[in-house]
Structure 1
Amino acid sequence: MNLPLELAPVESLEEKEAVARLYGEPLLELPKDLYIPPDALEVFLEAFEGPLDLLLYLIRKANLNILDIQMAPLTSQYLEYVEAMRATNLELAAEYLLMAAMLLEIKSRMLLPRPAREAEEELDPRAELVRRLLEYEQMKMAAARLDTLPRAERDFEWISVFVAEKVVERLPEVSLHDLQVAWLRIMKKARLTQHHRVGREQLSVREHMTAILRKLGDGAFVVFDTLFDHALGPAGLVVSFLAVLELVKEKLVHVTQNEAFAPIYVKLADGSRDDA
């Protein structure tokens, strides 16, 4: 079975000679009225932070010893960079020109002959330049090391976490409904254990308050149910319950429980009128 072969498209002569494409169509020559602004094509040199940065770059590029700089080639390369910067319409800072003048002065001082006595006493004209280059290199290396350190909002983000200094256990509060349920449970138990008696009793809420305070005299927590004497009957239990409510109202006792639906405990207040 013979399959048809797919031949690669042959590029036409026009497409080979096209200098550009406009909407997919080949252009054989640029339009006569094409205008290219002078600043459309620019050559960007390496960005330098100042004349010392440029000098240090030239020294490292030429693999020169910073303590024994060859001023003639260094000055020539520096001036070439300065002229290139001026040719590309970049704003040339005055410090670059000042450094160029300094390099020319050092170069001229090294070229001029000097008497032997003056040559021994005079310092190397490059000494000040070398000192400034070494200090600048140290500062640049220190800045590079600082830049490698983690930086907020660049390498990480700050977050705020609230941490409580002290965690205080908060026990559930005893509501009126809890007291009502406990009271109904006591009344139900009293009806099951007490015979019905017909009589008239003189009961005092103050006396029952005093009796309850005696039971709480040691300052320990006492179960709410144990404060009631079932032998007193329903009337006595009612008076005892009113006595407990009166003690709570006067802030003489403290009523609490460990958790919801847990047994209720009663404790004598610590002499503070603010405890409830």
Structure 2
Amino acid sequence: MPDTARDAALIAPAIDSTPATVDGMAVARLYGEPLFELPQDLYIPPDALEVFLEAFEGPMDLLLYLIRKQNFNILDIPLAQVTAQYLSYVEQIRHRNLELAAEYLLMAAMLIEIKSRMLLPRPPADPGAEPEDPRAELVRRLLEYERFKLAAQQLDALPVLGRDFWRAQVSFDRDAAPRLPDVTIGELQQAWSDILKRAKLHTHHKITREQLSVRDYMSRVLRQLQGRRFLEFHELFEP
């Protein structure tokens, strides 16, 4: 019995190693090496190719992937090469999931139209005016989409409630009234009496300033100097 997962990997590798016609003629990759022909006895399970388009968020995302994957200048897209690769992607799933491929076919029609306009001769432009580029509107939409995609990735990297952290919660009954303790009249009287007793224990210490008389201290200094020729300064303040 064939290995379904291994066979599916041949047709639907991961996004970074996809495809198919990114390497030119390669239809798939096997262990990083391009595969140019599918084995004759290869079993392809139903819907094995859905991963190609379901991995992208839409036709604009697929087109931007093809451009960035090959480092093309988005302002000068090689439309013939990109259109061929895009059509190769869509063709692989169109006959399997028509509903999914419908929106991608609309972009494919737009690419073919732009490619055709570039092949047709252009009318002479006015002197000094820049010639109109059929790719201008597509480039504008791609740049706008890429800005929104980068902004979405930055927003997704921010912490999200319920995904990266959870808010702490405490369950309680909002309608439950607090129960007061049962107290008798006698206990209330005793508590009030204790409060009054504690109030009487507080005493206030009042500090009064000593009344100093300059004349008295002058007389004290003169008495200490009588009969003494020398006197240390601190002795004047001894009681």
Q: Could you state the TM-score of these two structures normalised by the residue count of structure 1?
A: 0.45
Per-residue deviation, 1:87: 3.9
Amino acid at match of 1:147: D
Equivalent in the alignment of 2:19: none
What is the SS of the residue equivalent to 2:88? helix
Matched, 1:83 2:83: no
CA distance in 2, matches of 1:110, 1:40: 39
Match of 2:146 among 137, 141, 153: 137
Distance 1:142 1:256, change over 3 A: farther
Equivalent in the alignment of 2:15: none
Distance 1:109 1:256, change over 3 A: farther
Equivalent in the alignment of 1:265: 196
Distance 1:152 1:101, change over 3 A: same
Instruction: List gaps (5 residues or longer) in structure 1.
Output: 1-18, 21-36, 163-171, 179-253, 267-276
Larger Rg: 1
Equivalent in the alignment of 2:52: 45
Contact 1:256 1:265 (C-alpha < 8 Å) held by counterparts: no
Matched, 1:155 2:164: yes
Counterparts of 1:47-86 in structure 2 under 5 Å?
47-86=55-94
Per-residue deviation, 1:101: 1.0
Counterparts of 1:3-42 in structure 2 under 5 Å?
39-40=45-46, 42=48
Counterparts of 1:55-204 in structure 2 under 5 Å?
55-89=63-97, 91-117=99-125, 122-160=131-169, 175-178=184-187
Equivalent in the alignment of 1:165: none
Counterparts of 1:251-262 in structure 2 under 5 Å?
255=189, 257=191
CA distance in 2, matches of 1:70, 1:64: 8
Distance 1:99 1:65, change over 3 A: same
CA distance in 2, matches of 1:109, 1:134: 21
Per-residue deviation, 1:175: 3.1
Amino acid at match of 1:152: L
Amino acid at match of 2:194: P
Question: How many aligned residue pairs are there?
Answer: 146
Distance 1:95 1:88, change over 3 A: closer
Distance 1:100 1:42, change over 3 A: same
CA distance in 1, matches of 2:46, 2:132: 49
- Which has the larger share of helix? 2
CA distance in 2, matches of 1:264, 1:104: 96
Q: Which moved more, 1:92-101 or 1:127-136?
A: 92-101
Equivalent in the alignment of 2:174: none
Instruction: List gaps (5 residues or longer) in structure 2.
Output: 3-42, 172-180, 198-239
Amino acid at match of 1:104: I
CA distance in 1, matches of 2:58, 2:190: 77
Contact 1:150 1:156 (C-alpha < 8 Å) held by counterparts: yes
Contact 2:90 2:101 (C-alpha < 8 Å) held by counterparts: no
Q: Which moved more, 1:107-116 or 1:143-152?
A: 107-116
Q: Could you state the TM-score of these two structures normalised by the residue count of structure 2?
A: 0.51
Amino acid at match of 1:54: L
CA distance in 2, matches of 1:58, 1:156: 36
CA distance in 2, matches of 1:82, 1:255: 92
Per-residue deviation, 1:61: 0.9
What is the SS of the residue equivalent to 2:114? helix
Question: What's the C-alpha RMSD, in Å, of the aligned pairs?
Answer: 3.4
Distance 1:85 1:173, change over 3 A: same
Amino acid at match of 2:77: I
Distance 1:41 1:132, change over 3 A: closer
Percent identity, aligned pairs only, is: 58
CA distance in 2, matches of 1:123, 1:67: 13
